[in-house]
Amino acid sequence: MSEPDTIQSTNAIPEPPVEHAHAHPAFQHHFDDMEQQFEASHLGMWVFLVTEVMFFGGLFAAYTIYRTLYSAAFADTSRHMDVILGGMNTAVLIGSSLTMALAVHAAQTNARRRLPWFLIGTIALGSVFLVVKAFEYTHKWHEHLVPGLHFQYEGPYAAQAQILFSFYFIMTGMHALHMIIGIGLLTYLIVKARRLAYSSEYFTPVEMVGLYWHFVDIVWIFLFPLLYLIGQHNLGGGHS
Amino acid sequence: MSSVPLVHEQPITPEGRTVNYLNVRHSIASWLLTVDHKRICILYLVSITFFFIIGGLAATLIRLELITPGGDLLTADGYNKAFTAHGIVMIFFFLVPSIPATLGNFLIPIMIGARDLAFPKLNLLSWYLLMIGAIVAMGALFLGGVDTGWTFYTPYSSRYSNTYVSIAIIGAFLAGFSSILTGLNFVVTVHMMRAPGMYWSRLPLFVWALYATSLIQILATPVLAITLLLVAVERSFRIGIFDPALGGDPVLFQHMFWFYSHPAVYIMILPGMGVINELVTCFSRKRIFGYEAIAVAHVALAVISFLVWGHHLFVSGQSIYAGMVFSILSFAVAIPSAVKVFNWTATMYRGSISYDTPMLYTFGFIGLFTIGGLTGLPLATLAVDVHLSDTYFVIAHFHYIMVGGMVLAYLGGLHFWWPKITGRMYPEGWGKFAALVIFVGFNLTFFPQFLLGYLGMPRRYYTYPDEFQVYHVLSSAGASILAAGFAIPVFYLLWSLRNGPMATANPWGAKGLEWEHTTSPPITENFVETPIVTEEAYHYAPEQEPEIVGA
């Protein structure tokens, strides 16, 4: 692929694995070279994200079915969603995607001093999101809207509302769990980045966590309109 | 191609043997912390054999109970727990990991000329996830059992069952993640790690089959994960996601469950087909007939598998129009399946067939898979299925695929690659004998069940009218022969580890990198030098003029 290697590759002599004694410390010897290793990690991460899409996809499908079945109840429950807090959190998460992208860029361009700060910024914004989410959850608790544990709902839609709130908690809960895992991964990156483990030669983990983080953000980008915006009672939605 | 040395400098162990992946280290830690795909294959081999025995014991209880029409051995509850244990263990802990995690793990890197899978540590993690899942699920079974059937149908599983459903679900959930990570590893490995010259059009068909399997594992298993999670949440918090009494929809559970579990059926047969591809061409001494057609058929089966889940819901209150579409799509499964059966048969036509043990299993597979496949067609027919649904006809049908297909292919593959995996030959006479015993025992067990089902015996009942007894006695007698047939290989294969003749690098004279470029057993890095592939797969005989039948 690259020009200086052409002579070697036309000779078609595969290099023995011993040759990699001088290779980067992160190099794993069952790969031919760093590029193959990076490409493999990249593909692996994308395939993993596909499995995540299917995981959330199942959840979204079930949600969509109940939303269609119980559109009147859905319109009724949507007035309990806090659009202000949800919207704020959306902005916070998009901001964290920016800092994450800057972190990946910093790793790629050898900006070793800035890298930990961008990672810390991402964690900070992610934490803000989780704190706001926690406030929303407590709010729901006080309003008796936690299915199974603390649920009271006035009106004709009590049973259906419980299902819809179950989906609210499961969907946002799974999303929050993914964020917590992401924050754990970012913490690991900060420790390694402070030891100068990442450079333009080797930044695979930063890039992989970046992909993961962006994916989790995108899930929220779908969750926010589905749960908070469409079917808002004052925007029309049910036909009760 | 033959000039590449198999071993570089012939390093020698203190006992005077050449170093290979098995004898390079001996400590227990060197096995439990290994990242060598070949050693992980051995870990899987030992553990799934254990699970197979557990699942087999549950089957023994079922067959013993059914010898008499009354409930003599088990209570109704005990019977429910026995068939649930049989299903959960055999499906999640034996069939799904069977060929991919053992033979696939061992062979995929070697067949494509790589030193290991793309993510060796992830591979080890897959094994540990399966083990933890197994401990959790077995824990549920030994604490008192689960009585929902392996399908966990709601609202029974979520509201009414007072057994250890949630624990079993967590076990299945963990096993699912193991399966996802194995599939991910295979996909990346096949894409990224192929040796020079190993084009997609030269991949052994076993790799194609495992690639198609991996796609299903990646795309379907996460849906099972979220479905089981929803059941566990519903059960824990008493909310009615799938409970009609609380406004939920139980048929939605069935849709989501079978969206995974129907493709999972193909996770449990495609790898077997992959093995048969390798065996039929080797023991016919002839290039496989229609390489491209078979490769496409593997992927086509994986694709179609996602479009047919509704045929499990013909009598569950699914709309009749959905049923018609799912019925037609289910018939489509027959096309790629038949492509393979015809191609295997055509491969044998005018081949130089030898009747070694793996080939006997191949014959068994082709015959039994054909019966299992053809009996799927009446089940896919809407009106006929109303009569056959949830009867022993269904049981017989899927056991012809799962046992007659997958388990026979697994055993055939295990015998075929046993010299490569262990460096020893198994005793051929015993091998043939066991293959015949299994074939006879299998048919005696399951063929009467077709008749039982057609006569109206429903599945999952522990008592039955007297007129069914003769079929149940035949089936239980067959099961005891089948059990003996499965036990024999355990003994002689273990015996061969110490006493079998040493295997040469290529005892079958087979084609493929694993035979032509590695020692038996291989070294830890598989190859001394990365092989360069210069010919098509299965270059067994020079191309001959096509014979025109009847000309």
Task: Quote the ipTM score.
Answer: 0.91
Chain A contact probe: residue of B239, B251, B319, B525 with most A CBs at under 10 A: B239
Q: Contact B252/A43, CB-based, under 8 Å?
A: no
Under 8 Å between Cβ of B129 and B166 = no
Under 8 Å between Cβ of B406 and B372 = no
**CA quadruple B395, B400, B402, B404: dihedral positive or negative?**
positive
Residue A151: partners with Cβ closer than 8 Å, 6 or more residues away: A144, A145, A162, A165
Within 169-198 of A, beta carbons closer than 8 Å to B belong to: 170
| pLDDT computed for residue B135 by the predictor | 97
Can you tell me the distance from the alpha carbon of A90 to that of A111, in angstroms, rounded to the nearest whole number? 28
Q: Contact A162/B246, CB-based, under 8 Å?
A: yes
Distances from the Cα of B361 to the Cα of A4, B106, B406, B497, angstroms: 52, 20, 10, 21
pLDDT of residue B13 exceeding 90, the answer is: no
Counting one residue from chain A and one from chain B, the pairs whose CB atoms sit within 8 A come to 114
Q: Contact B187/A47, CB-based, under 8 Å?
A: yes
A148 touches chain B (CB under 8 A): yes
Q: Answer with the residue of higher pLDDT: A144 or B275.
A: B275
Least Cα distance to A86 among A147, A172, A170 occurs for: A172
Nearest-CB residue to A47 (from B218, B246, B256) = B218
Q: Answer with the residue of higher pLDDT: B185 or B548.
A: B185
Reduced to 3 states (helix: H, G, I; strand: E, B; else coil), residue B18 is strand
Q: In this predicted structure, which of B45-49, B244-248, B510-514, B518-522 has the lowest mean pLDDT?
A: B244-248
Region B413-438: mean pLDDT is 97
Task: Please report residues of A whose CB lies closer than 8 A to that of B158.
Answer: none
Helix axes B105-112, B165-192, angle to 10 degrees: 10
Helix axes B205-237, B105-112, angle to 10 degrees: 140
Nearest-CB residue to B532 (from A14, A51, A69) = A14
pLDDT digits (tens, 9 = 90+) for B213-264: 999 999 999 999 999 999 999 998 888 899 888 888 999 999 999 999 999 9
Can you tell me the distance from the alpha carbon of B192 to that of B475, in angstroms, rounded to the nearest whole number? 48
pLDDT digits (tens, 9 = 90+) for A132-167: 999 999 998 888 888 888 788 887 888 888 888 999
| pLDDT computed for residue B469 by the predictor | 96
Q: Domains plus CATH for chain A?
A: 47-233 (1.20.120.80)
**CA quadruple B63, B68, B73, B77: dihedral positive or negative?**
positive
Nearest-CB residue to B252 (from A39, A40, A62) = A62
| pLDDT computed for residue B108 by the predictor | 97
| pLDDT computed for residue B548 by the predictor | 59
Chain B: closest CA distance from residue A124 (Å): 29
Region A105-117: mean pLDDT is 93
Can you tell me the distance from the alpha carbon of B543 to that of B366, in angstroms, rounded to the nearest whole number? 25
pLDDT of residue B354 exceeding 70, the answer is: yes
pLDDT of residue B448 exceeding 80, the answer is: yes
Q: Contact B249/A52, CB-based, under 8 Å?
A: no
Chain B: closest CA distance from residue A216 (Å): 16
Q: Contact B218/A51, CB-based, under 8 Å?
A: yes
pLDDT digits (tens, 9 = 90+) for A222-233: 999 998 887 665
Q: Answer with the residue of higher pLDDT: B543 or B162.
A: B162
Can you tell me the distance from the alpha carbon of B281 to that of B44, in angstroms, rounded to the nearest whole number? 27
Can you tell me the distance from the alpha carbon of A24 to that of B426, in angstroms, rounded to the nearest whole number? 44
B458 DSSP assignment? B
Nearest-CB residue to B525 (from A17, A36, A44) = A17
Region B126-143: mean pLDDT is 95
Region A183-187: mean pLDDT is 97
Helix extents (H) in B115-204: 120-143, 165-192
Within 38-57 of A, beta carbons closer than 8 Å to B belong to: 39-40, 43-44, 47-48, 50-52, 54-57
| pLDDT computed for residue B247 by the predictor | 85
Region B392-419: mean pLDDT is 97
Nearest-CB residue to A148 (from B188, B230, B238) = B238
For A44, the closest chain B residue by CA position comes to B188
Task: Please report residues of B whose CB lies closer than 8 A to that of A48.
Answer: 184
* Residue boundaries of the structural domains of chain B: 28-516
B288 DSSP assignment? P
Under 8 Å between Cβ of A54 and B219 = yes
pLDDT digits (tens, 9 = 90+) for B69-126: 998 899 999 999 999 999 999 999 999 999 999 999 999 999 999 999 999 999 999 9
pLDDT digits (tens, 9 = 90+) for B370-394: 999 999 999 999 999 999 999 999 9
Residue B29: partners with Cβ closer than 8 Å, 6 or more residues away: none
Q: Contact B222/A58, CB-based, under 8 Å?
A: yes
pLDDT of residue B183 exceeding 50, the answer is: yes
Q: Contact B220/A170, CB-based, under 8 Å?
A: no
What CATH superfamily classification does B28-516 receive? Cytochrome c oxidase-like, subunit I domain (1.20.210.10)
| pLDDT computed for residue B245 by the predictor | 86
pLDDT of residue B265 exceeding 50, the answer is: yes
Which tokens belong to B106?
């061992």
Residue A159: partners with Cβ closer than 8 Å, 6 or more residues away: B240, B246, B247
Least Cα distance to B413 among B364, B485, B343, B340 occurs for: B364
Q: Contact B247/A163, CB-based, under 8 Å?
A: yes
Average pLDDT of chain B is 93
Can you tell me the distance from the alpha carbon of B416 to that of B390, in angstroms, rounded to the nearest whole number? 37
| pLDDT computed for residue A154 by the predictor | 80
Nearest-CB residue to A43 (from B191, B222, B230) = B191
Q: Contact B248/A163, CB-based, under 8 Å?
A: yes
Under 8 Å between Cβ of B107 and B168 = no
Which tokens belong to B416?
């075929």
Which tokens belong to B532?
């360069």
